[in-house]
Structure 1
Amino acid sequence: MDRHPTPPAGVLGERAMVATGHPLAAQAAADVLREGGSAVDAAVAADAVLGVVEPMATSIGGDLLAMVVPPDGAPLSYNGTGRAPAALDPAQIEALPGRRIPERHPLSVTVPGAVRGWHDLHRRFGRLPWARLLEAAIGAAEQGFPVAPVAAREWRLFEPVLQRDPVCASLFRAGRVPRAGEVFCNPELAATLRSIAQDGPEAYYRGTPARAAAQAVQALGGVLAAEDFAVHSGHFCAPVLARFRGLTVLECPPNTHGVAVLHALQALEDRPLDPEAPDSHVAMVHAMREALQHARKTVADPAGNTVCTVVVDADGLAISLMSSVFKRFGSGIAVPGCGFVLQNRGFGFAAPGELNGAAPSRRPYHTVVPGAALKDGRFHAALGVVGGAMQPQGQVQLFVRTAAWGQPLQAAIDAPRWRLESDTALAAEEGVPEAVRAALRQAGYAEPAGMGELGGRSDFGGAQMVMRLPDGRLAGGTDPRKDGQALAV
C-alpha cells in the first residue's frame, strides 16, 4: 500500500480544517469556508460531491448521520437514517431463506435520509444559501470528473452488482466501467441535484425521484412507496458518551453501533496499554469483540461502505458527517432518469419478532458512526472511519493510538490495522508486527478466508479526522487507503 506523503502530525492550520474522502470534495468544502460558510455548510457541500464521485459508497439514495460540536453549547448527534416501507409485511420476510432480507433484494430498500439530513443540518447551522452548497456537486456530475484510483478499483470489483439491473448497468457502465483517471459524467444526477438546489428537499421527497424510486422497486417485487418518502424525517438528539484517557468520547445512539466504540474504550480505560506489548493488542481485540457482540446481538453481518467528511470552521464549530448506501452500490437498483442507486439498509434487519426484526416503518441496525471527543469540556477531535464493521474498530484503534499512546494524528491513521471479520476470524493488515500477529493467532483469532463479497480482501477502512492540538492549532488527517485529502483553510 502506498503511504500518504502527509507529515506524521497531519496537515496543520490556524483557522479551519477539512478532511474528506476526495480532493474535489475537499476543495468544495474549502471554497464554502472561504466564502463565510459554516463547518456544516462545508460538510454538506463535500458530502454532495462525494455522492457524485464515489457512487459505490454514497449518494442521495443513502442515509446520513452526523456529530456536531458547537464551540459553546452541548454537542448534538443527527440521525438521518430512513425507515422500512410502511407496506413491508413481516410474513414476506418469514418466507425468505433464514427469515432474513437478502443483502441485495427489493425488500432491502429503505427510505434514503441524506437529502433531508443535509437540509436539517443546514437549517440549524448553515450560513450560506442552500443552493450554494450543491453547486460543486452539480458541476462535477454535469461536466464530469476523473475517477480516482481507489474508487476505480472498487467500481471494477463490484461490477457484478451493476449487471443485475439494466438501469444501473447503463448508468454506471457495466461492461466498460471507468478506469482511474477516466472522466465520468452523470447528467441525470446533475439534473436531480439542481432540482433539489432550487426547490429544497421536497423536490426529492415529494417529487420525481420519490415516484420513480417507488416504481422501480415495486416493479422488482418490493413495496417501497412514494408516501414513504413523503413522511420521512430525521432528528437531532444527545450523543451517548464514555470517558477514555482524559477524553469524553461522543457517539451517535442506537440505531447505530457507535455504542460498540464506547463499550470497547470503557473496557480498555484502566488497562496498561503498551504499544510494544503484544498482549496489549490482544486486549484491544478482545474488548472490541465483546463490544461488537453486544452491539450486534440481532444482526449477522454489519459490513458496508460509507464516506466521511470532518470540518472545523474558524469559529470552532466542528462536524463529522457520514453518509452511505450501505453495501457497494447499495441495493443495485438505480432510479430511472435520476442518476443514483437506492441503499439496502433493510439487510440490517434481523428476523421478524426479534428486537431488531424487520417491521413496517422501522429503522434497521445501522453501521454509520460519526464520532467526536471533548477535552476539558471543549472540542478535541472529530472523526469517522468508513468501512462497515471497520467503523467502530477503526475508531477504537485511533483513540488508543492518539489518546493512550500519544501518536501524532497522521501517523496514527497510517498505522497498520486489524479487523475482526467474526468472533474468531481477524485480518491483520500488512505491517502489523509479527510478534503481535503471532499473539493474536495464539489467542484464537484465525486468518479470514472466503468471507463475504470481498472474499478475504479485508477492507481496513478509511479515516478522516481533525484534532485540536494543545497550542490551539488544528491538525487534519486523511487515510492513504482512500482517495482523500486534508486542507487547511
Structure 2
Amino acid sequence: MRRFDVPGRSPVIAENGIAATSHPLGTSTAISVLREGGSAVDAAIAASVTLSVVEPQMTGIGGDCFALIAQADGQVHGLNGSGRAAADANAGWYRDNGFTEIPDLSAHSITVPGAVKAWEVMHSRFGKLPFERLFTDAIGLAEHGYAVAPRVAFDWVRQVETLRRDEGTSKHLLISGEAPTFGDRVSCAALAKTLRLIAGEGSSAFYQGAVAAEIAATVQAKGGFLTEADLAAVEADWVTPIATSYGGHEVLEIPPNGQGVVALIMMNLMTLLNTAELPHDSAERYHLEIEAGRVAYAVRDAMVGDPAHMTISSEELTSMAFAQSLVGQIDRSKRNPSVTVPKLPASNTVYLTVADRDGMAVSIINSVYGSFGSQIMTPDSGVLLQNRGACFVVAEGHPNAIGPSKRPMHTIIPAMALKGGRPSVSFGVMGGAYQPMGHAHVFSNITDHGMDPQAALDHGRVFWAEDGALNIEAGVPVEVSEGLERFGHKVQAADTPLGGGQAISIDHDRGFFIAGSDPRKDGHAAGY
C-alpha cells in the first residue's frame, strides 16, 4: 500500500475492461472501444492509431509494431509487425561508400513501415468492431486538432533544428518554424486524409497506390533505396513467443529480431544471483541488475538480428545453461570493467496494454524509433517515416548487417507473463536500449517485492550512459547512489526520465484487473 501523504497515485482496479497508455487520449479511445463491445485487440489498435496522431515524436503510421495477445485459456500469440530494408540495400555498398554506420536522420535509415499491416492482421483474427471504427478518434484529432500534452511538448522542442531541414516535417510538425508548446492546438489534415483512406480501404491504401508512391519517391529523392515494390511486399508474421521462468511466472517475449531475448537472459542471471532476496532499494540489487544487464546486452550486440541470419537460436540464448556460462562475469562486490559497454540506440516509442471482459490481454508496442523517426515526412500524405534502419550495422558477416529485405535488430519489446497457465501480467517499458532492463526491473518489483503495477512503474531507475557512467533518476535514494559508487560505478543525475511503461495485473481469484501507467509520460490507466 502506498503512502497517501506523498506525491503518487493509486493503481486502477476494474472488472469489465481496462487500459493503460502513455497519453490520456489514447486511454480514452481504448475505453470507448471496449464499452462499445470491442475486443482488447480492437481497443489496442484504436489506441495505437490515436497515439500516432497525438504523440508524433514517438509513433506513427510510418513506424513498426509488435504485439503479444493472450487469451483467457493461456494461449499467447506473438505478432512481428516490423518492416524490412529495401530489396536493394547492401552492406557492401555502404562500406564502399565510406559509411561506418547508418546515419540516424537519413533516407538510408528508413525501412518499410510495418504497423499498419500489423494492425490489419491482428484485427482480422481477433477484432469484433469494424476496422473503420478503430480510426474514428484519430481522424477527428488529426483533422480538428488536439492540445499538446506536457511530455510531448518537452520532447518536441528538443528537435526543432533538425525538423526544419525537411519539407514535410517543416510543413506539418512546426508552426512558423517553431515547435508547439504545452496546450497549443495542433492538427494535420494530410495525415487525417491518409488515415481515412486506410480506415475505408484497408492497408492496401497505404502500401499501394498514391501514398506508397509518395513514400518511395520521397525516400529516393534523398538517396535511399526504398521502392513501391518494397512497400507492397510488407508482411506481419505470427511468431511463437520465447520464454523463461521468473518469480513463479512464465515470462514471454517476442523472439528476435527484437531484443526481448535480452530481458529473458537478464532474468535468468538474476535468478542465478538470487537478487529477489535483496531489499528493493538496496545498492546491491541495483548493482547486480546493472551488471546482469551489461552482460546480456553485450550478447545482444554480438548475436541478435534478423533470425534468418543469427548463428545461435533464441532457445539457446534463453536457456539457463547459457546464463550459467555468463554469470561468472558478474562480481557481487564490484563492477567488472572488462565487460564492454553495449551500444545504446536511442528510441521513441509508445507501449500500451489492454484487457477485456472475455479475459483477453494485449501487450502492444509501436514506434518510429528516433524522436520523430527519420525526421523525413511525405509532404502530401503526412506520413512520418521511421529510422529503424539505423539499428543495422555495416560490418561484414554480422548477423545485424544491413542487407536486402532484411529486418533490423529492434529495441521495442512487449511482454506478457503467465501463472498457472493463465495470463497474469501484461506489461512493457519504453525507452530504447533501456527496455530489457526496464522489463527485468519492473517485473522484479511486482514478483519479488510485492508492488502493485503503479508502484512497480513509479520506482526509481538506473541505467548506464554511453561512457558507462550510471544515470540515476531523482527517485532513487541517495544511499543507493553512494553504494553504487562503492561498487565501482561512476554515477550522475539522469537529465531525462528513463523510459516509461504500462502494466496490467490480472487477479483471477477476485475477478479484477489492476493497472498502472508510468508517471514519466502523460498517460494514465482507466477501467470500467
TM-score, with structure 2 as normaliser: 0.88
State the Cα distance separating 1:273 from its structure 2 match. Answer: 2.6
* Counterparts of residues 252-263 of structure 1 (less than 5 Å): 252-263=254-265
Unaligned runs of 5+ residues in structure 2 are 1-5, 304-341
Deviations 1:54-113 (A, max 9, x none): 111000000000111111252111100000001113233104555211111111100000
Mapped partners of 2:99, 2:130: distance in 1: 48
Aligned to 2:442: 398
Residues 423 and 16 (structure 1), Cα distance of their counterparts in 2 relative to 1, 3 Å cut: farther
* 2:128 corresponds to 1:127: yes
Cα pair 1:421 1:448 within 8 Å, conserved: no
CA RMSD of aligned residues (A): 1.7
Distance in structure 2 (CA, Å) of the matches to 1:381 and 1:96: 47
Number of residue pairs matched by the alignment: 479
Measure the CA separation in 1 of the matches of 2:114 and 2:281: 43
Matching of residue 318 in structure 1 with residue 361 in structure 2? yes
Residue matched to 1:182:
184
For residues 285 and 168 of structure 2, the distance between their equivalents in structure 1, rounded to whole angstroms, comes to: 50
CA contact (8 A) 2:42 2:123 kept: yes
Contact 1:26 1:46 in 2 (8 A): yes
Per the TM alignment, residue 473 of structure 1 is displaced from its structure 2 partner at its CA by 1.1
Matched-pair identity in % = 39
Aligned counterpart, 1:345: 388
Deviation of 1:441 (Å): 2.4
Counterpart of 1:59 in 2: which secondary structure?
A: coil
The letter of the residue matching 2:525 is: A
The answer (yes or no) to whether the contact 2:12–2:527 under 8 Å persists in 1 is yes
Among residues 4, 9, 13, which one is paired with 1:6 in the alignment?
Answer: 9
Aligned-residue offset at 1:6: 2.4
Q: Any unmatched runs of 5+ in structure 1?
A: 450-455
| Moved >4 Å (runs of 4+) | none
Deviation track 1:168-214 (CA, whole Å, cap 9, x = no partner) reads 11210162211111110111000000000110000000122211011
Q: Which residue of 2 aligns with 1:61?
A: 62
Give CA deviations for 1:121-156 in whole Å, capped at 9, x if unaligned: 001110001101111110110111001000011000
2: CA distance between counterparts of 1:323 and 1:117? 10
Q: Which amino acid aligns with 1:225?
A: T
Counterpart of 1:237? 239
Whole-Å separation in 2 of the counterparts to 1:70 and 1:422: 40
Amino acid at match of 2:232: A
Q: For 1:91-106, what aligned pairs fall within 5 Å after superposition? A: 91-95=92-96, 99-106=100-107
Amino acid at match of 1:483: D
* Residue 283 of structure 1, CA deviation: 1.0
Distance 2:75 2:234 in 1: 26
Query: Residue 46 and residue 391 in structure 1: after superposition, are their counterparts in 2 closer, same or farther (change >3 A)?
Result: same
Partner SS state of residue 170, structure 2 = helix
Do the aligned residues in 1 keep the contact of 2:79 with 2:237 (CA within 8 Å)?
Answer: yes
| Corresponding residue SS for 1:286 | helix
d(CA) in 2 for partners of 1:259 and 1:480?
26
Once residues 73 and 296 of structure 1 are traced to their aligned partners in structure 2, the CA distance between those partners, rounded to angstroms, is 32
- Provide Cα deviations, 1:2-43, integer angstroms capped at 9, x if missing partner: x97521xx0011121100011111111111101110000000
Aligned counterpart for 2:512 among listed residues 465, 473, 480:
473
**Counterpart residue number, 1:171:** 172
Match of 1:452 in 2: none
For 2:201, the aligned partner's letter is D
Q: Is residue 486 from structure 1 mapped to residue 525 from structure 2 by the alignment?
A: yes
Please, which moves more after superposition, 171-180 or 355-364? 171-180
Give the secondary-structure state (helix, strand or coil) at the position aligned to 1:444. coil
Cα deviation, residue 297, structure 1:
2.0
Check the 8 A contact 1:65/1:369 in 2, yes or no: yes
Correspondence for 1:464 among 496, 502, 518: 502
149-158 vs 92-101, which moves further: 92-101
Structure 2 residue 169 is the aligned partner of structure 1 residue 194: no
User: Retained in 2: the 8 A contact 1:418–1:427?
Assistant: yes
CA contact (8 A) 1:63 1:113 kept: yes
| Closer, same or farther: CA 32–301 of 1 in aligned 2, 3 Å | same
Deviations 1:429-486 (A, max 9, x none): 002112211222233332369xxxxxx6344111111111352311110011101111
Do the aligned partners of 1:161 and 1:329 also contact (CA within 8 Å) in 2? Answer: no
CA contact (8 A) 2:160 2:178 kept: no
User: Deviations 1:311-333 (Å, cap 9, x if unpaired)?
Assistant: 00000000011100000011111
**Match in the other structure for 1:79:** 80
Q: 1:473 to 1:256 in 2, by over 3 A?
A: same
In structure 2, the CA distance between the partners of 1:253 and 1:465, relative to structure 1 (3 Å rule), is: same
Separation of aligned partners in 2, 1:463 and 1:400: 14
SS at match of 2:116: helix
Query: How far does the alpha carbon of each residue in 1:236-259 deviate from its partner, in whole angstroms, 9 at most, with x for none?
Result: 111110111101111110000001
Q: Is the 8 A contact 2:481 2:491 kept in 1?
A: no
- How far apart are residue 162 of structure 1 and its match? 0.6
Q: Tell me which residue corresponds to 1:453.
A: none
Secondary structure of the structure 1 residue equivalent to 2:376: coil
Q: Is the 8 A contact 2:92 2:394 kept in 1?
A: no
SS in structure 1 at match of 2:491: coil
2:515 pairs with 1:446: no
Cα 1:352/1:249, change in 2 over 3 Å: same
> What letter matches 2:179 in structure 1?
V
Q: TM-score, normalised by structure 1?
A: 0.95
| Equivalent residue runs for 1:2-401 within 5 Å | 5-7=8-10, 10-95=11-96, 99-173=100-174, 175-270=177-272, 271=274, 272-297=277-302, 300-353=343-396, 354-401=398-445
Answer yes or no: is the 8 Å Cα contact 1:64–1:79 preserved in 2. Answer: yes
Aligned partners of 1:159 and 1:177 also within 8 Å: yes
| Partner SS state of residue 224, structure 1 | coil
2:435 alignment partner, SS class = helix
Residue 424 of structure 2 aligns to a residue in which SS?
Answer: strand
CA distance in 2: counterparts of 1:414 and 1:90, whole angstroms: 42
CA distance in 2, matches of 1:96, 1:381: 47
Q: Could you report, residue by residue, the CA deviation over 1:277-297 in whole angstroms, capped at 9, with x for unpaired residues? A: 321221111112111111122
Give the Cα separation in 2 of the matches to 1:301 and 1:16.
36
Q: Contact 2:74–2:422 at 8 Å: present in 1 too?
A: no
Q: Would the aligned equivalents of 1:61 and 1:342 in 2 still touch at CA under 8 Å? A: yes
- Secondary structure of 1:217's aligned partner: helix
The verdict on how the C-alpha distance between 1:88 and 1:383 changes in structure 2, with shifts beyond 3 A counting, is same
Q: What is the distance in 2 between the residues matched to 1:86 and 1:4?
A: 52
Q: Which residue matches 1:419?
A: 463
